[in-house]
Amino acid sequence: MLEVGLTGGMASGKSTVGAELVRLGCHLLKADELGHLLLTPGAACYEPVIAAFGRGIVDLAGRIDRRRLAAIVFGEPGMLEKLNSIVHPAVFRYEAQWLREIEAGDAAAIAVVEAAILIETGNYKNFDKLIVTYCPEEQMIARAVARNGIPAEEARRRLAKQLPIEEKKKYADFLIDTSGSLESTLEQTRAVYAALRSQMT
């Protein structure tokens, strides 16, 4: 089995690339979505995060309000690191279990883990290959504003918490430029898939 990391800056096209890799036959785990699931009531990180950040982040239905939590972690020094110290170990445990299950079911699989801060956490070292998606910073900010409905300044603050894209690119085995058309992104993704598959023969 080939274990592949997929990362890039915020709103840099990771999900588009991940969806195409699935269509081509890869297995995909979205670590960021997993992180959100771990914050739901009864999940592993729900109570520890409330204990760390206070009940002010809980809405009337008893759910963690991710916008309230984001306002704290992206607005106060050290708070993002505090959240990550709770969530990341649980995410990594689930990832490891998922990879074992995929390999047990298909030894010839390409298993892809998509995560925004794969490099920042050091988790990229656990993968055989690393794909990095990228586009200009202003394009990432515009996409984040359109997708998430957040102000441009908030998008900039969130992006500033990540490793600059030019630094991320240095870690890549494969680069996918998502600044052009959708078809251009998909063509590059298909080429990367072919290269990954050829390494398994």
Q: Where are the domains of the chain?
A: 2-34+87-198
Residue 41: CB atoms within 10 A of its CB come to 12
Count CA atoms within 13 Å of residue 102 on its CB side: 21
pTM for this model (two decimals): 0.89
Taking only the tens place, the pLDDT of each residue in 47-89 is: 999 999 999 999 999 999 998 999 899 888 899 999 999 999 9
- The whole-angstrom separation of Cα 71 and Cα 146 is 18
2-34+87-198 is a CATH 3.40.50.300 domain:
yes
Taking only the tens place, the pLDDT of each residue in 121-152 is: 899 999 999 999 999 999 999 999 998 888 89
